[in-house]
Amino acid sequence: MPTPLAERFAATLIEAHRTNSRAPASAAAEFSASATGADVADVQALVADELGPVTAWKTAPGADKPMIAPILGRRVKPSGATFGTDEIGACGIELEIAFRLDAPLPPLDAPDFAARLREVVTPIVTIEVVDGRVEDFVDAPAQAKLADNQNNGGLVLGGTGTIVGTSPAVRLAFDGKVVVEGQATPPGGDAWAALERFVLHVGSLCGGFQVGQVLTTGSLTGMPFIEPGTRVEGEVEGLGSVTLDYAAR
């Protein structure tokens, strides 16, 4: 059963999601002061139960195990989509490599697990939108950020194809102006390795990694923030392009 601490913070985040607002930074500080890993997972699950379903995930390297956070289906859109200021209060941009799960996962203890895992996923280029549900979310305590789905504001799904090496060429432009261009390496050094670590650790959190869901593996381009009215265009070598618009409304 979730602790009262987890239930209070989950209720705070749910209200912030519904009203497109931010809770006081004090709520994040109170939660993080004594939250356990189980509390963080319980908050993620409580929010997903109320506002889900979960249709995507995000991951990043961690000291003992990877960072894992669910992404709500309402925040996953196709390339060319628009996010409005009535949906998100800030718009950080991260161009990323992701994977769509196309068939059931192989047994985790299979001797050829890594090879079989590659056979059931499709690489896809994505843009993650970064936004949080508490004030000063970029600098919020780590436990609060993770409980808040690691500040996920949205995910835009673009082209599919083949990942070119571990450091493919990337291009990110805002209103036609290139802001990042060149080769880039995912956090941890290898998107395929990030996928494998995630699958081995996600377990049954929010239902686990299900067919049709997408896992995104971390920024190739840093996290610049944009103003309303900006069009974003991203490209990853071998995967193609992805675009979004951030609109004032």
pLDDT tens digits along 56-89 = 999 999 888 999 999 999 999 999 999 999 999 9
Alpha helices, DSSP H, located in the chain: 4-19, 25-34, 37-51, 113-119, 142-147, 191-202
Longest alpha-carbon distance in the chain: 52
Residues 6+ apart with CB under 8 A from 109: none
Q: Once rounded to an integer, what is the mean pLDDT over residues 185-203? A: 97
Q: How confident is the model at residue 147 (pLDDT cuts 50, 70, 90)?
A: very high
Burial class (CB in 10 A: 0-12, 13-18, 19+), 170: buried
Give the pLDDT confidence score for residue 63 in this predicted structure.
85
pLDDT tens digits along 231-241 = 999 999 999 99
Give the pLDDT confidence score for residue 77 in this predicted structure.
98
Burial class (CB in 10 A: 0-12, 13-18, 19+), 1: exposed
pLDDT tens digits along 95-144 = 999 999 999 999 999 999 999 999 999 999 999 999 999 999 999 999 99
